[in-house]
Amino acid sequence: MLAPWGTDVEQDKNKLTLRMSRRRVGALLIGGTSLPVVAACGGDAPAAPAKPEAPKAEAPKAEPTKAPSAAPAPTAAPTTAPSTLKAGATITFWNDMGGPYPGLMEKWRDQFGGKTQVKVEVSGGMGDFTNKLTAAFAGGTPPDLYRYLQENIPLPAAVERNMLKKLDDLIKRDKMDLSDFRKDSIALYQWKGSQLALPRDYGLQLVYYNTEVFAKAGVQPIPTDWTDKTWTFDKFLEACQAVMRGGAQYGLILNRGWRPWASWVYSNGGAVVKKDAEGLATEFAIAEKPAIDALQFLQDLMYKHKVAPTPEEETALGDQLPLIQSGKIAMRFGNPGDNSAYKPTGMQYDVGVFPLGPSGTKRGTGGGGTGWAIAGPTKQPEEAWAFMQLITSKDGQLGEVAIGQTTPSRVSVASSPEYLAGPPKGTKAFGDGQDYVVRDPVHSKWPDAQRDAVTKILNEQLWTGKTPAAQVAKDVKERGDALLKG
């Protein structure tokens, strides 16, 4: 989906169009302000859930959706021996992704139930997902299996709350082969020697653009090679100015979500935090020159060069997808899951790599995707594990490819004809870009620091144009360090 900037992560993944109604979303998308951002995540972390009062954690019902227009590939049977499964048992399966995703969940449910006689209660397209999930755990009635968003609940915090069942013994017992998963995607869910979830996807950030607008302005296509050294911050600005001379109202809509803006910092050789030997965030690095320069560049795109609308101007423009279709906006940064919004439109578009900053030697992109997790307190571990094997199988991921809502974590799927078929022409950049992913900071207090230091200060000072990036970064570091250490 193309989600509104500055919203929480799960909203970015649920809203499949830029501020479009649900009815319009269903009509437009196969697959979340105005294009879908489903896998990779581009939004900011939600407010930390208030300590829930004993909830009556009843699994919310899935929002009604139409089944996916493209039928997913048949999914492999679980490898857990059927004799270990209790026929007639029930497991609950929660997911925040909307659009066609609940329909895919129902297909998985039916396939699994037909083979095992185990009932799966599906709740898909759930809003306010993190708060509902943490409330359910606090109330003692969590779902057996759910989509785990580490950017909202970091591993250390999830472990403390017993939200993640250790999978090592199950993997070993059933001889589950993990070699087809990207090693870095598996590593995302490892903590203190234990495998705590399996990767659903492995997302990243790149550029979507209207190729007709580029051609009309005489601008060369954006490179799809992540090692390219010619597509720089300066060339990006020149392209924005050229397409505006060619008739576009703006060169780009500036994605102010956490992972998209952090990608500019990474691609300029900067970092958001420093880490210790175990990979835990220790302090903010955002006040160092490469990060400051990247943030100043983003502010200047709006207020100095005027090639991107300010937040207020963006709100007045309305839905973003029609603006990109019509050529009023040339570019937008997002993740591969956004493709499910562009594909059905029939517009001429392509994707390209992130620009390389003057201090950068290698691109970096915020991402890492999301995982599937079994609740620590589940009373149906065998049934939940068998279902997890089904949805993480190659055929399970191909089912997600069929509805256009994934950046596969399995190498065989990321390199498959089904995934690379396009549009866009540059689809290969999706998989190639996975080598450039920078994972979110790992710290139990990261959601607090992200919300109360990073997002709050950037929203109040940087994106409004009120304060230069150097002072913004200094303020973020001061407040953020106190939160990490507090």
Instruction: Give pLDDT, residue 340.
Output: 86
309, 332 Cβ separation under 8 angstroms: no
Q: In this model, does residue 46 exceed pLDDT 60?
A: no
Give residue 207's pLDDT band: very low, low, confident or very high (50, 70, 90).
very high
Q: Please state the rounded mean pLDDT for residues 71-78.
A: 43
Give residue 170's pLDDT band: very low, low, confident or very high (50, 70, 90).
very high
Q: What are 120-154's pLDDT values in tens digits?
A: 999 999 999 999 999 999 999 999 999 999 999 99
Residue 215 to residue 350: CA distance in whole angstroms: 12
Burial annotation 254-267 (CB, 10 A radius, 16+ → b, else e) = bbbbbbbbbbbbbb
Q: What are 214-248's pLDDT values in tens digits?
A: 999 999 999 999 999 999 999 999 999 999 999 99
Instruction: Give pLDDT, residue 11.
Output: 33
In the chain, CATH 3.40.190.10 covers: 82-203+369-409, 206-271+286-367
466 phi and psi angles, rounded to 5 deg: -80, -30
Cα maximum dimension of the chain: 68
Instruction: Give pLDDT, residue 232.
Output: 99
Q: In this model, does residue 52 exceed pLDDT 50?
A: no
481 phi and psi angles, rounded to 5 deg: -60, -40
Cβ burial, residue 312 (10 Å; 0-12/13-18/19+): exposed
CATH T-level topology, domain 82-203+369-409: D-Maltodextrin-Binding Protein; domain 2 (3.40.190)
Instruction: Give pLDDT, residue 2.
Output: 57
Within 8 A by CB and 6+ apart from 183, the residues are none
| CATH code for the domain defined by 206-271+286-367 | 3.40.190.10
Give residue 81's pLDDT band: very low, low, confident or very high (50, 70, 90).
low
Q: In this model, does residue 447 exceed pLDDT 50?
A: yes
Q: Which of 3-7, 19-23, 132-136, 404-408 has the highest mean pLDDT?
A: 132-136
- 287: which 2 tokens? 């006040």
Within 8 A by CB and 6+ apart from 456, the residues are none
Give residue 80's pLDDT band: very low, low, confident or very high (50, 70, 90).
low
Instruction: Give pLDDT, residue 55.
Output: 36
Instruction: Give pLDDT, residue 122.
Output: 98
Examine residue 423 and say whether the peptide bond preceding it is cis (omega within 30 degrees of 0): yes
Instruction: Give pLDDT, residue 34.
Output: 33
Residue 2: closest CA among 18, 13, 26: 18
Q: What are 332-380's pLDDT values in tens digits?
A: 999 998 998 999 999 999 999 999 999 999 999 999 999 999 999 999 9
Average pLDDT, the chain: 87
Q: What percent of the chain has pLDDT over 90?
A: 79
Q: Please state the rounded mean pLDDT for residues 460-466.
A: 99
Instruction: Give pLDDT, residue 83.
Output: 58
Residue 175 to residue 171: CA distance in whole angstroms: 6
Instruction: Give pLDDT, residue 49.
Output: 34
Q: What are 253-284's pLDDT values in tens digits?
A: 999 999 999 999 999 999 999 999 999 999 99
Instruction: Give pLDDT, residue 108.
Output: 98
The pTM (predicted TM-score) of the whole model is 0.84
Q: In this model, does residue 401 exceed pLDDT 90?
A: yes
Instruction: Give pLDDT, residue 405.
Output: 80
The partner residues of 121 in beta bridges, in order of sequence, read 92
Q: What percent of the chain has pLDDT over 70?
A: 83
Q: In this model, does residue 24 exceed pLDDT 90?
A: no
Query: Picking from 45-49, 120-124, 295-299, 312-316, which range would have the lowest pLDDT averaged per residue?
Result: 45-49
| Cα 365 to chain centroid, rounded | 12
Instruction: Give pLDDT, residue 29.
Output: 25
Instruction: Give pLDDT, residue 422.
Output: 85
Q: In this model, does residue 158 exceed pLDDT 70?
A: yes
Residue 292 to residue 259: CA distance in whole angstroms: 16
Give residue 3's pLDDT band: very low, low, confident or very high (50, 70, 90).
very low
